[in-house]
Amino acid sequence: MDDRKFERKLWDHIESDRTVMLGLTSDPAGHSRPMTALLDKQTPGEIWFFTSTENELAQQAAAPMPAFCAFASKGHELFATIGGTVQTILDRDVVDRLWNAFIAAWYEGGKDDPKLILLRFTPAEAEIWLNEHSLVAGLKLLMGRDPKQDYDDKVAKVDL
């Protein structure tokens, strides 16, 4: 499978599953937090997060900071680590495009809530693991066959 297919699968899974673990690479403990990832067709290649100005990550990312996302699709068909940068920004056009009832529930002041801020994650690279045939590999293992060969073409490092 070529790298672009891995990349397309990654974006498709993020768009449908949305939950990633987002953290700063400078955090010595490697702390990350669950965040809802949103993709905007007007800004391809960017991942957006609605958050609060009181969020520690948002406070630390006033300037672009090296960051990472860890992602596992709901059905565990795809896993990824994504490296890039994150920065707080308040882009009203993006807010308008991505705003929905689930986001609105978090902000008493709606789109004009003074605590509303966006995190823009700009990915640079990803390592992606596909786990599409885990059942088949499990059956091969039970039959005494080596399942590792099924995974040789299921990992890719991709520039985003």
pLDDT exceeds 80 at position 83: yes
Query: Per residue in 109-153, pLDDT tens?
Result: 999 999 999 999 999 999 999 986 655 656 666 766 666 666 567
Q: Is 38 helix (H, G, I), strand (E, B) or coil?
A: strand
Q: What pLDDT score does 131 carry?
A: 86
**Section 17-38 average pLDDT:** 95
Band of pLDDT at residue 108, cut at 50, 70 and 90:
very high
Mean pLDDT value across the chain: 91
Q: Is the pLDDT of residue 6 over 70?
A: yes
Report the pLDDT averaged over residues 93-109: 97
Share of the chain above pLDDT 70, in %: 86
Question: What local confidence, expressed as pLDDT, does residue 41 receive?
Answer: 94
Give the pLDDT band (50/70/90) at residue 32: very high
In terms of C-beta distances under 8 Å and separation of at least 24 residues, what long-range contacts does 144-153 make, across chains too? Answer: 153/1
Q: What is the pTM of this model?
A: 0.86
pLDDT at 28: 86
Nearest to 92 by CA among 40, 33, 22: 40
